[in-house]
């Protein structure tokens, strides 16, 4: 019964029209792993009483099932007082159907998976959650607590149907990973910087159908990264999606963000640096809808929130921004287009097309382009050598077709940093009119 009911829960078949061009996900299906061996934490002195530290039980279960088995955390409430580092997994999975509550106070990573391949971390009931209780740090002004989840050198993997809440620091980071799929997740954090949703610096990763609430990064690509596809993302009162901060020897290419909905956030998309070196190339930012955001398109290579680093600037080349619609909070104060490139490394081959944003306050907006070459709006066409320049365009007429749909679950207010943040349910819609690529595991298992 256990095995047969999970046959539909592993990686759902990828839609041919949506799958990335590279392979992602585990190479062995969940049913095979579960039939080989299943290690329930309840058999390793784990207790679902909300008080007993589940850390040692998870580690022991991992040791017994990390090569061809499943670590199983049944429904129930568990305390996590000591962090777990799970290493050396091969053809394994963690099925987390219960809720884990942070009780420890160390820094670092609450759950750290490293040097592992053919791996799946998921909840079969789509209710598995980690409650980080970050407000216990944040109410005193501290961001020195732990991340909730970090993957390092993990290959051929998926993470899905999980809920991460109120991380003391970052919620989820993927460092030097490859061939991974992340989907059907809800991340909910406090209204503060330093509480990133998903950070990724890896190769061949597909992130889709994720909701993030915080006030820092929604889904962010960092260096080095190659072949990253991010789509159907709901930045619901967040910092918004971004790339960076970019520093020296940057190496990022083949990045696509598609179907990104951003509500009441810092920006719809930002590429941020201040000095530095290296390059970003072959980036597509398409099908963006925004409402009530401070910035919309914000490419800033003199970002004042970042200390200047050595170098003439990161070279940005072949970046296409297309089909952006909606409204910004105040287009006179923060216009919907800012492409502020480094004078020592002007941006090249930038395209802005089908861009229709309008201001919610006032009757005009500005476009700012500095040292940016390409086509569209305030960009300067290339003709021979590229040099530094600066131009500002004032627009006093609303563009045709800026009206765009909103989402029913748009939050009326942010979650604060001085009280408990409730655990949400995973939504079934992440972008207006877009169907999630995979059904929630809870629905698949009951089908």
* Catalytically annotated residues: 216, 291
Residue 55 φ/ψ, nearest 5 degrees: -55, -55
Q: Dump the DSSP string for 64-90.
A: HHTBT-EEEE-SSEEEE-S-EEEE--E
| N-terminal to C-terminal alpha carbon distance within the chain | 14
- Contact between residue 341 and residue 301 where contact means Cβ atoms under 8 Å apart: yes
Task: Identify each DSSP E strand in 193-274 by its residue range.
Answer: 198-213, 217-221, 225-236, 240-246, 250-263, 269-273
Spatial separation of the C-alpha atoms in residues 43 and 60, rounded to whole Å:
10
How far is CA 344 from its chain centroid?
Answer: 31
How far is CA 170 from its chain centroid?
Answer: 11
User: Would you give the DSSP letter of residue 41?
Assistant: G
Spatial separation of the C-alpha atoms in residues 438 and 216, rounded to whole Å:
27
Sign of the alpha-carbon dihedral angle for 168, 238, 296, 225: positive
Q: Return all residues near 383 (Cβ < 8 A) that are at least 6 apart.
A: none
């Amino acid at each position: 019964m256990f095995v047969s009911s999970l046959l539909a829960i592993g990686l759902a078949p990828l839609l041919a029209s949506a799958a990335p061009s590279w392979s992602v996900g585990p190479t062995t299906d969940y049913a095979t792993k579960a039939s080989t061996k299943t290690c329930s934490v309840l058999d390793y002195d784990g207790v679902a009483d909300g008080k007993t530290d589940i850390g040692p039980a998870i580690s022991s279960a991992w040791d017994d099932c990390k090569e061809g088995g499943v670590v199983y955390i049944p429904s129930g409430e568990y305390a996590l007082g000591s962090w777990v580092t799970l290493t050396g997994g091969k053809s394994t999975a963690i099925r987390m159907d219960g809720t884990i509550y942070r009780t420890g106070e160390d820094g670092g990573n609450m759950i750290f998976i490293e040097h592992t391949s053919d791996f799946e971390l998921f909840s079969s009931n789509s209710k598995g959650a980690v409650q980080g209780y970050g407000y216990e740090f944040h109410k005193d002004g501290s961001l020195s607590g732990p991340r909730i989840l970090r993957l390092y050198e993990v290959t051929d993997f998926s993470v899905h149907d999980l809920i991460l809440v109120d991380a003391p620091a970052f919620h989820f980071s993927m460092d030097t990973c490859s061939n991974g799929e992340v989907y059907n997740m809800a991340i909910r954090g406090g209204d503060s910087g330093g509480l990133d949703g998903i950070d990724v610096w890896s190769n061949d990763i597909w992130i889709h159908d994720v909701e993030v609430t915080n006030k820092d990064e929604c889904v962010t690509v960092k260096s080095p990264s190659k072949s990253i596809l991010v789509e159907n993302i709901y930045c619901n009162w967040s910092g918004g999606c971004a790339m960076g901060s970019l520093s020296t020897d940057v190496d990022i290419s083949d990045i696509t963000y598609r179907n990104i909905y951003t509500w009441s956030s810092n920006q719809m998309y930002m590429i941020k640096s201040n000095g530095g070196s290296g390059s970003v190339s072959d980036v597509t930012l398409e099908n963006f809808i925004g409402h009530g955001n401070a910035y919309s398109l914000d490419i800033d290579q003199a970002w004042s929130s970042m200390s200047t680093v050595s170098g003439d600037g990161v070279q940005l080349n072949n970046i296409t921004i297309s089909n952006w619609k909606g409204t910004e909070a105040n287009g006179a104060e923060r216009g919907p287009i800012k492409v502020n490139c480094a004078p020592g490394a002007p941006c090249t081959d930038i395209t802005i097309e089908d861009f229709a944003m309008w201001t919610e306050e006032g009757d005009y907006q500005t476009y700012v382009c500095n040292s940016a070459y390409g086509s569209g709006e305030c960009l300067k066409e290339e003709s021979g050598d590229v040099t530094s320049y600066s131009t500002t365009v004032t627009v006093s007429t609303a563009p045709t077709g800026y009206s765009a749909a909103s989402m029913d679950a748009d939050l009326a207010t942010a979650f604060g940093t001085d009280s408990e943040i409730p655990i949400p349910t995973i939504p079934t819609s992440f972008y207006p009119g877009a169907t999630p690529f995979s059904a929630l595991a809870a629905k698949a298992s009951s089908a």
